[in-house]
Chains A and B, each alone.
Chain A
Amino acid sequence: MKILTTVKKVVDVELNIHVKDGAIVEDGLQYVINAWDENAVEAAVQLKEKNNAETTLVSLGGGDNADIIRKCYAMGIDEGIHVDDPALAKADSSVYANVLKKVVEKGGYDLVITGKQAQDTDSGQTGIMLAEALGYPCVSNVVSIDVLDDTHIKVSRLGDSGTEIIELALPGVITVSDSINEPRLPAMRGIMMAKKKKIDSMDLAGLGISGAEAGCDALKSEVVEFMASKTRKAGRKFEGDAAKITAEVVGLLATEAKVF
């Protein structure tokens, strides 16, 4: 089985992010692998270990992605593709899906595993749109994968009324939740070997798709401005005798906050 995982380089959400004049202040930002994509990589590596899958990752855009791709190599991914191009500067999920479609067509993968969403966009669209573009079946928010045979997997997804059990015919696309696994910490040996591995880098022309075909010239939507989010102010903090402060807070909930 040939598996492709998609990996995006995103801003580290644990750090402070500031907005000025409608844009995000670049200064002080750090970039990391999208958390949900680490789950996708872990899922692929587990399938490699259990079912002899071949694993490839692809990352689109983001400039120098070598550190991220090498981290995935160290986790056990066999090959890495990096597609970057100035035309991708304002790409949205639908553009990325079009480019990924070309990657899948060229590589002939049986299963594509994406993260359920990217931490910078919080969109949750790319994997599903990729499946639509390819005409592949798709299950999103997946929390477990079982290989049934060469052309079928059984997955479970968290839905609105419970855990949905679905049989997916390959080739197909799944998007994974962080509940699916705990991404491994790469071992030293893996890290050393990852340093020597090559990364297959190309631009859109190298991949065989033009910016126009990818939809870069006709974005369906574009961010016109970033704004600071409404932050809640820290309220009052009560310390001391538990009985006393608890009674006081309950009183305030009733008289001040008027929630009861």
Chain B
Amino acid sequence: MAKVLVIADIKQGVLKGSTLELLSKARAMGAETAVVAIGNNISSLAADLAKAGSDTQYIADDAGLDLFSAGPYASCVVDAAKQSNADMIWFGFSEGGKAVAPRVAAQLGAACATEITDVTLTGSGIEIVRPAIANKVMQRVKVNTKQLVAVVRAGAFQAVEGNTGKENVVKLAIPSADLKAVIKEIVSDATGEIDLADADIVVSVGRGAKDQAGVNLVKELANDLKAGFGSSRAMVDGGFMAHNKQVGQTGKIVAPTLYMAMGISGAIQHLAGMNGSKVILAVNKDPEAPIFNVADYGIVGDLFEVVPILREELKKIRK
């Protein structure tokens, strides 16, 4: 039986949805499941991790692991991978996962694949599917090593409720800090905002909004809908939106039920971050804008005129 080790995605002490998605996929494949959780004051998550479908929980809980640091985090994952004898080591899609996975693969001598959208066990080994060239093509990749380390693309696997595994906690040794790459501080993002990765609706703003007043206008729409508020790179570069709001190849990959692109042209690097959304609505004053090639519903118009109407109409139906 295949053995899968899932790296728990924890943010501010809370388990993120991707952990359940990955464990659900592993169970659907009939694999034995283990999970590794790394951080500070996270031991209490063991029960939740069992409930999410893991049968063993490898836990590295220490004040020294409070701030993310790729080196020590990788050591913890390698330790858990060896103890669990996992064939596959899966990270959810995150900056941390992208930084740690290649280290773990190098240390284990395993194959490494990022942004995978599917994985299958063939008679002879593991095969994965992933996009490449800014999502313009897909690749089917054969894994030649016994082990695979993978980062799973956001939205690739569906969460299934009611998995329930069993609680079996294994405490990991705490690795020493990386003295050659010393983490000094994390300047945290504004808290209290809806995480783009978790949002069921994402409203994003582009250069079409011009300035702060335009950004604020679109933000009100996002607030009405309790939606995640994202951005194209143009508005991040312009200083109107924070880096962590950028959607696209360099930013976040999102796959919400509804994505609303307000004044965004639809450059391929932006599309690569949102074209897995279930439904896309675009507002753009240029009828030839490429965003209309992927939008299910396109409103050709000036967002300064359309957004207030949109808010009113949405209030009517959402009452």
A interface residue numbers (CB < 8 A to B) = 11, 13-14, 17, 19, 24, 93-94, 97, 116, 119-125, 128-129, 132-133, 136-141, 143, 154, 157-169, 172, 177-179, 218-230, 232, 234-239, 242-243, 245-247, 249-254, 257, 259-260
Contact: B189 with A235, CB < 8 Å? no
Choose from A136, A159, A165, A246 the contact partner of B309 (Cβ within 8 Å): A246
Closest chain-B Cβ to A152's Cβ sits at a distance in Å of 9
Proximity bits, B107-127, A CB within 8 Å = 1, else 0:
101111111000000000001
Contact: A178 with B181, CB < 8 Å? no
Contact: A232 with B275, CB < 8 Å? yes
Known pairs A162-B187, A162-B188 / 18 extra A-B pairs, C-beta < 8 Å: A13-B133, A97-B106, A122-B115, A132-B106, A160-B11, A160-B68, A160-B95, A162-B186, A164-B67, A172-B181, A223-B139, A226-B137, A227-B138, A238-B300, A242-B301, A245-B299, A257-B297, A259-B257
Query: Which A residues are in CB contact (< 8 Å) with B278?
Result: 259
Proximity bits, B52-91, A CB within 8 Å = 1, else 0:
0000000000000001101100000000000000000000
Q: Which residue from chain B places its CB closest to the CB of A162 in the assembled complex?
A: B188
Task: Tell me whether A161 and B184 are in contact in the complex, defined as CB-CB below 8 angstroms, given that A137-B178, A224-B142, A242-B301 are known contacts.
Answer: no
Proximity bits, B175-197, A CB within 8 Å = 1, else 0:
00011111111111100000000
Dominant SS at the A interface? mixed
Choose from B71, B137, B143 the contact partner of A137 (Cβ within 8 Å): B71
Closest chain-B Cβ to A221's Cβ sits at a distance in Å of 4
Measured CA separation A222–B141 after assembly (Å): 5
Contact: A17 with B140, CB < 8 Å? no
Measured CA separation A251–B297 after assembly (Å): 11
Closest chain-B Cβ to A40's Cβ sits at a distance in Å of 14
Question: What are the 10 A-B residue pairs with the smallest beta carbon separation, nearest first?
Answer: A137-B180, A235-B296, A132-B106, A220-B111, A162-B188, A137-B181, A128-B102, A237-B298, A250-B313, A221-B111
Contact: A246 with B98, CB < 8 Å? no
Query: Which B residues are in CB contact (< 8 Å) with A125?
Result: 101-102, 105, 112, 114
